[in-house]
Amino acid sequence: MCTTEKPTPLEIQTRILARNDDTAAHNRMHFLERGIFAVNVMGSPGSGKTAVLEATARAFNGRGIAALAGDLATDNDAQRLIRAGIRSRAITTGQACHLDAELVHHELHHLDLAGIDYLFIENVGNLVCPAVYDLGQSANVVVLSVTEGEDKPLKYPTMFAKADLVLVTKIDLLPYLPTDLDAIQDALARVMPDPRVILLSAREGFGIDSWLAWLTKCRSAMEVMA
C-alpha cells in the first residue's frame, strides 16, 4: 500500500529512503564487482516490458543475461523469460506498488549470476512510484507504448526525468492508432534532461539492434569506470 507525501511524517519517509539507499548501494557494489550492468526497467502495466526482455533474451541467444520480474501477484513474467531461455526469478510484492532495494537484495541470493553481464530488473507496472526507489541499478530504462498516447511524459514527469533511455514500444501498431510519434518525442524532449529514445517493436524486431548497441556501449563505459 502506498501513502501520499502529505500525511506521512517526513522523518519516517526520510528513514525509509535512507535505509533503501544503503541497501541499493550494497546491491550496486555487488553488480559492479561482477561487471554486471543492471537495468531498472519501468513502465505502465502492459507497456511491453516483458516483451522487450523476451526479444532481448532471443537476441542474446539466452547467454549472459538474467532477469528479476516484479509484480504484485503471479510469476507469469519470470516464467515467460525462462521460456525465452534466460535465468529469471519472480519478485511478488503483495500490495506494494514498486520494487525496493531490499526485495532485490533478497532475491539476488537465489539467482546464479555466474557468467551474467546484464541483469534486467523488471519493476512493477507503474509510472509513478518505482521512480523514487533506487535498486542499485546502473541505468533506468522506461518502456512507453505508443498505445498510451502522446502526453504521458508530461503527465508523469518524474519517471521520465529520471530515465537514461526511453524505449517507445509497439510501433508496429502506429498505422492503426491516431498517435503522433513526433508529439511523443517532443513531450520526452521537454522532460528528459538528456533525451535518448529508441523506437522499438518487440514483435517485429524493429529497434532491437539499437537497444543492444546501447546496452553494450553502457556496459563498456561502466568497465572503464571500474
Q: Which is nearer to its own copies, 149 or 218 (CB)?
A: 149
Which one of residues 32, 132, 181, 222 is an interface residue with its own copies (CB under 8 A)? 132
CB of 136 to its own copies, least distance (A): 16
Q: How far is Cα 124 from Cα 97, in angstroms, rounded to an integer?
A: 6
Q: Applying CB under 8 A, does 155 fall inside the site for its own copies?
A: yes
Q: Applying CB under 8 A, does 49 fall inside the site for its own copies?
A: no
Q: Applying CB under 8 A, does 142 fall inside the site for its own copies?
A: no
Which one of residues 58, 157, 185, 218 is an interface residue with its own copies (CB under 8 A)? 157
Radius of gyration of the chain, Cα coordinates, nearest whole angstrom: 17
57 CA to centre of own chain: 15
CB of 42 to its own copies, least distance (A): 12
Which one of residues 24, 156, 168, 201 is an interface residue with its own copies (CB under 8 A)? 156
Which one of residues 21, 30, 46, 214 is an interface residue with its own copies (CB under 8 A)? 46
Which one of residues 108, 170, 200, 211 is an interface residue with its own copies (CB under 8 A)? 170
Amino acid of residue 95: Q
Q: How far is Cα 226 from Cα 221, in angstroms, rounded to an integer?
A: 9
Q: Which is nearer to its own copies, 61 or 158 (CB)?
A: 158
